[in-house]
């Protein structure tokens, strides 16, 4: 009879992974508190953590601060934490906003970054060449070689899958062409993911007490995409097909679009649909501020020119803005109820403080204060989308491996 079980290496990796998870969520923390959290002996924790300290994965922070409320006898606890500079991670985002790349430590703190604007004409070879050249530049400037790099995480937006040679195979996304290209050129591990899911994961609350529950991530653009995290795991149905949301009705009896229900997200809220609505009110007579900001050209309509006009009180522009915000409010309300969402994170909706406050008021008035309090703005905007790649790289190559590289 053949017996199968967990190997010593797998057991070691799992124990270390659990310790790293506790330290990440609660650190700096003492060995005795780690033992209590994991319900294992202090001796076992001491052996494992001492080995990790020798390897440079962890380090001793020092003695725990004195608490007048909980004075203890004897020696004070020694706190340990993850060494943020033990290894480093590269992250890449390939999206309709362009290509961004960055280098981070394990916190993750950004050490270097750069971005490249792209168009529909930008080729696969140009994107790959930029990523490779920037990777080499960043490593050289930081005096790092491939041995200090955990790996590279690449997030690719659905609209760019075809260009980046990402295809479906047996019902799942196949990133083989992309990973093999970069691994052969850079000699580091590479992991790829749908950028919507990666951005959702990188927007998790840092405070563990705030991370429990489900949250919804919405990205605005040429298409509207959504990822749903159920207890910090991406909902399977939204790993690959993140644009399923576009069939949801956000405005009953609204705009018609072939193949979609009337008033669907696709018909009412995608970038082309919204720009068309603003273009319809662009007029030198009725919207002079908007006309001047755009030079009278529909192709110059963007969030800046819209905000300039709306903030000056041009009624027709405000009407279009409020129509969009009301559609978004209804969508958020329906999603929040359907998925028991604790938070809703908005990405690339280009709301300055004035617009965001206006939106929150619309949500509060139409859906209630409870829904309005759930709305957050993405932490990975403004050329920081690459941090989603850093996050998946650190999770896959550091935490899941227990720091065993």
Taking the domains of the chain in order of start, what are their residue ranges? 8-82, 88-202+384-399, 213-377
Residue 66 and residue 51: Cα distance in Å, rounded? 27
Q: What is the pLDDT of residues 101-153, one digit of tens each?
A: 999 999 999 999 999 999 999 999 999 999 999 999 999 999 999 999 999 99
Sorted by sequence, the CB contacts under 8 Å of residue 224 that are 6+ apart come out as 218, 243, 245, 246, 265, 266, 269, 270
Q: Across residues 363-374, what is the average pLDDT?
A: 96
Residue-level pLDDT at 320: 98
pTM of the model: 0.90
Residue 386 and residue 380: Cα distance in Å, rounded? 8
Structure tokens at 11: 């057991």
- Whether the Cβ atoms of residue 300 and residue 294 lie closer than 8 Å to each other: yes
What percent of the chain lies above the pLDDT cut of 70? 94
Q: What is the pLDDT of residues 271-302, one digit of tens each?
A: 999 999 999 999 999 999 999 999 999 999 99
- Whether the Cβ atoms of residue 170 and residue 132 lie closer than 8 Å to each other: no
- Asked if domains 88-202+384-399 and 213-377 share a fold, the reply is yes
Q: What is the pLDDT of residues 31-79, one digit of tens each?
A: 999 999 999 999 999 999 999 999 999 999 988 776 545 555 557 789 9
The CATH fold assigned to 8-82 is: Arc Repressor Mutant, subunit A (1.10.10)
Name the E strands within 141-262.
149-156, 167-169, 172-174, 190-194, 214-219, 225-230, 233-234
Please tell me the least confidently modeled range out of 66-75, 90-99, 194-203, 346-355. Answer: 66-75
pLDDT at residue 249 tops 70? yes
Residue 123 and residue 135: Cα distance in Å, rounded? 19
Residue-level pLDDT at 311: 94
CATH class of 88-202+384-399: alpha beta
Sorting pLDDT into bands at 50, 70 and 90, what band is 178? very high
C-alpha 120: how far from chain center: 24
Residue-level pLDDT at 405: 81
The CATH fold assigned to 213-377 is: Nucleotidyltransferase; domain 5 (3.30.420)
Q: Across residues 239-259, what is the average pLDDT?
A: 93
Sorted by sequence, the CB contacts under 8 Å of residue 285 that are 6+ apart come out as none
What percent of the chain lies above the pLDDT cut of 90? 81
Q: What is the pLDDT of residues 388-401, one digit of tens each?
A: 999 999 999 999 99
Name the E strands within 74-140.
78-82, 88-95, 98-104, 110-116
């Amino acid at each position: 009879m053949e017996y199968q079980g967990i190997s010593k290496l797998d057991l070691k990796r799992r124990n270390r992974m659990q310790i790293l998870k506790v330290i990440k969520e609660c650190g700096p923390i003492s060995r005795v508190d780690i033992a209590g959290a994991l319900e294992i002996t202090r001796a076992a924790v001491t052996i494992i953590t001492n080995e990790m300290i020798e390897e440079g994965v962890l380090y001793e922070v020092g003695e725990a601060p004195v608490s007048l409320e909980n004075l203890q006898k004897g020696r004070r606890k020694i706190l340990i934490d993850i060494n943020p500079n033990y290894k480093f991670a590269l992250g890449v985002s390939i999206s309709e906003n362009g290509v961004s790349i960055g280098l981070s430590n394990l916190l993750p703190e950004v050490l270097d970054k750069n971005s490249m604007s792209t168009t529909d004409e930008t080729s696969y070879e140009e994107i790959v060449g930029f990523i490779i050249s920037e990777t080499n530049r960043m490593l050289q400037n930081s005096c790092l070689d491939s041995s200090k790099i955990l790996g590279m995480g690449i997030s690719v937006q659905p609209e760019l899958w075809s260009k980046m040679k990402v295809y479906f195979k047996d019902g799942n996304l196949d990133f083989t062409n992309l990973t093999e290209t970069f691994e052969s050129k850079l000699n580091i591990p590479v992991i790829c993911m749908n950028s919507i899911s990666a951005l959702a994961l990188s927007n998790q609350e840092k405070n563990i007490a705030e991370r429990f529950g489900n949250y919804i991530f919405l990205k605005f653009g040429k298409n509207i995409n959504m990822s749903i995290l159920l207890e910090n795991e991406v909902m399977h149905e939204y790993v690959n097909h993140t644009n399923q949301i576009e069939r949801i009705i956000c405005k009953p009896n609204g705009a018609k679009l072939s193949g979609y229900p009337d008033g669907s997200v696709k018909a009412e809220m995608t970038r082309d649909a919204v720009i068309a609505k603003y273009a319809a009110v662009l007029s030198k007579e009725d919207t002079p501020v908007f006309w001047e900001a755009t030079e009278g050209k529909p192709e110059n309509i963007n969030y800046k020119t819209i905000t300039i006009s709306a903030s000056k009180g041009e009624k027709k522009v405000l009407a279009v803005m409020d129509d969009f915000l009301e559609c978004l409010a209804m969508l958020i309300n329906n999603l929040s109820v359907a998925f028991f969402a604790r938070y809703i994170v908005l990405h690339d909706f280009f709301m300055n403080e004035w617009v965001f406050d206006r939106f929150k008021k619309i949500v509060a008035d139409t859906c209630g204060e409870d829904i309005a309090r759930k709305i957050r703005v993405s932490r990975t905007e403004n050329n920081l989308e690459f941090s989603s790649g850093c996050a998946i790289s650190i999770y896959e190559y550091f935490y899941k491996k227990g720091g065993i590289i």
